[in-house]
Amino acid sequence: DVKVTQSSRYLVKRTGEKVFLECVQDMDHENMFWYRQDPGLGLRLIYFSYDVKMKEKGDIPEGYSVSREKKERFSLILESASTNQTSMYLCASRVRSGANVLTFGAGSRLTVL
Amino acid sequence: AQSVTQLDSQVPVFEEAPVELRCNYSSSVSVYLFWYVQYPNQGLQLLLKYLSGSTLVESINGFEAEFNKSQTSFHLRKPSVHISDTAEYFCAVSEKGGSEKLVFGKGTKLTVNP
């Protein structure tokens, strides 16, 4: 089975801190995604990556950046965390093509104080 | 760009009753359509998908969804629900041949009561 591993399940950070959320997949998937999930708002796409070193903005990229230096790893970076970035962050991957199913990680719940 | 509207944020039903969770999408091109489910305290997993061909697709646990191109809908149905179907259900759309990013709706919380 494909595994998508998010390194931290729970994080608590202070306003202004730089935050790294790491995601690793083990099945050579080309596409990787970062979503945030908030009650009543569903999943909103932050960034996605077609392949190594490629990235595209999603619907809510402001305040975030990403890095994909290796195929298996897709990092989400909050340069200066703010309280409105308190959320559940979900990473997902798939084989190239929109027809394919996303495999999700367990999520990282970030609280910014 | 594509978008998804799930018309009901919460749907309470009694066990063994039928249920329909509504999903409409907007896109200028052909699409792939998905329903994902999130059980309490778990991650998202695929329930069913429409790629092409027959407009009626089924899952292994009794759910079905019908793609209606003229109404741009992909409603999810089950004739008789169980307590264990209590979960949040997300409709999602991906445009064929475009960026193929997957966009989700806001979700529908299905609560099945005894």
B106 and A56: CB-CB below 8 Å? no
pLDDT 10s digits, B23-80 = 999 988 889 999 999 998 888 999 999 998 888 999 988 999 999 999 999 999 999 9
B43 and A105: CB-CB below 8 Å? yes
Q: Which residues of B touch A56 (CB under 8 A)?
A: 99, 101
Contacts of B3 (CB under 8 A, 6+ apart): B25, B26, B27, B93, B103
pLDDT at A22: 96
- The neighbouring-strand residues paired with B112 are B13
Contacts of A27 (CB under 8 A, 6+ apart): A2, A3, A93, A103
Radius of gyration of chain B (CA): 14
Is B26 touching A (CB cutoff 8 A)? no
pLDDT at B19: 97
pLDDT at A97: 75
Is B9 touching A (CB cutoff 8 A)? yes
Nearest to B90 among A31, A43, A48 (CB): A43
pLDDT at A1: 66
Chain B nearest CA to A27, separation (Å) = 17
The mean per-residue pLDDT over the stretch A27-52 comes to 93
pLDDT of residue A82 exceeding 80, the answer is yes
The mean per-residue pLDDT over the stretch A9-16 comes to 95
Q: Which residues of B touch A3 (CB under 8 A)?
A: none
Contacts of B9 (CB under 8 A, 6+ apart): A40, B106, B107, B108, B109
Chain A nearest CA to B112, separation (Å) = 19
pLDDT at A2: 60
Nearest to A102 among B51, B102, B105 (CB): B102
Go through B41-57 and write b for each residue having 16 or more CB atoms within 10 A of its CB, e for each that does not: eebbeebbbbbeeeeeb
Neighbours of A91 (CB within 10 A): 27
